[in-house]
Amino acid sequence: MSLLQVNRLVVEFPTRSGMLRALDEVSFEIAPGEILGVVGESGAGKSLTGAAIIGLLEPPGRITGGEVRLEGQRIDQLGHEAMRHIRGRKIGAIFQDPLTSLNPLYTIGRQLIETIRTHLPVGEADARRRAIGLLQDTGIPGAEQRIDHYPHQFSGGMRQRVVIALALAAEPKLIVADEPTTALDVSIQAQIIQLLKKVCKDRGAAVMLVTHDMGVIAETCDRVAVMYAGRVVEIGPVHEVIHQPAHPYTSGLMAAIPDMTRDRERLDQIDGAMPRLNAIPSGCAYNPRCPRRFDRCVVERPELLDAGATRAACWLHDAHGRHDHNLQGTAA
């Protein structure tokens, strides 16, 4: 049974020239104890998907289609107050910059204790004990003393641990982590990744990990969803997606990663750029940049199709239309 189900989620932004569709029928599921990575270039819709799930879309953006279900309950239509309760109790959020998640005027202990007491039926002393335990679990040394310190007294890596402790305070079933390691140096990144994996394993929480770093995905995730121009273009087990990508965009992302075993002067790159929301091409949105496009790609948009161990939104995997390929072999 899936813990989180996202089904054909559509997010749009009204503008003077009409509605701009930022998420276009995004679908995926996450099981308890599973880490799903969501990856893609800037502007692909990764963070927007996370924000839509946790009810923190920036106005005027709004969900205009599809649904989000947590433990079978639909949560995308809930009011602000009901969603705020779910966000603390059942969904924890970890953001890129820990300073945006912490109040600089309160000790971290006060912030943890308030969160625990808001969502769990415990007294002040119990809440403090739990808060110290959370700080210990997230690897903060001297937690008994550090609990009374303010955010500015912690380093960036330690602040991110505090944010993870805060996200775990009410024992949520789902954690949405949006670029949780981007602002940290590599050694601290590795520690935070290990911490997320441990949390998932020990508590059976599902994690949606938004990142643009394929190294983090490979190290952390069970499955990965690759996004492009507001859609999921490939989804499957992380090992398969990395080593046998089925979508040309995923292949391009993989080829752009530096390979220490190969001697070359230049890195591979994907020519062109992610399309703007008001200029998404017809057919497959990736077709202007795709080296394997053919006629059908320009006029007809593919849904996710079975592609071996993964699923990819690419006509190369359409069993019925496979013989009609008029390969151009070059991207425009």
Is residue 319 pLDDT above 90, yes or no? no
Query: Please, what sign has the CA dihedral across residues 237, 240, 245, 247?
Result: negative
**Measured distance CA(227)–CA(49) in Å, rounded:** 10
- List CB contacts of 14: < 8 A, sequence separation 6 or more: 20, 60
Q: Mind listing the pLDDT tens digit for each residue in 43-102?
A: 999 999 999 999 999 999 999 999 999 999 999 999 999 999 899 899 999 988 887 889
**Is-contact 94 177, C-beta < 8 A?**
yes
pLDDT at residue 264, rounded to an integer = 66
Joined tokens for residue 180: 């949780």
Measured between alpha carbons, how far apart are the two ends of the chain, in Å? 43
Alpha helix segments (H runs only) across 91-185: 98-101, 108-119, 124-137, 143-146, 156-168
Q: What is the pLDDT of residue 123?
A: 96
DSSP assignment letter at 151: G
Q: What's at 260, amino acid-wise?
A: M
Whole-angstrom distance, CA of residue 190 vs CA of residue 116: 28
How many whole angstroms separate alpha carbon 296 and alpha carbon 281?
Answer: 13
Go through 44-80 and write b for each residue having 16 or more CB atoms within 10 A of its CB, e for each that does not: bbbbbbbbbbbbebeeebebeebebbbeeeebbebee
What confidence score (pLDDT) does residue 12 get? Answer: 97
Residue 330 has pLDDT above 50, yes or no: no
* Model pLDDT for residues 257-315, shown as the tens digit of each residue: 777 676 766 777 888 999 999 999 999 999 999 999 999 999 999 999 999 999 999 99
Q: Which of 321, 289, 327 is nearest to 44 (CA)?
A: 289
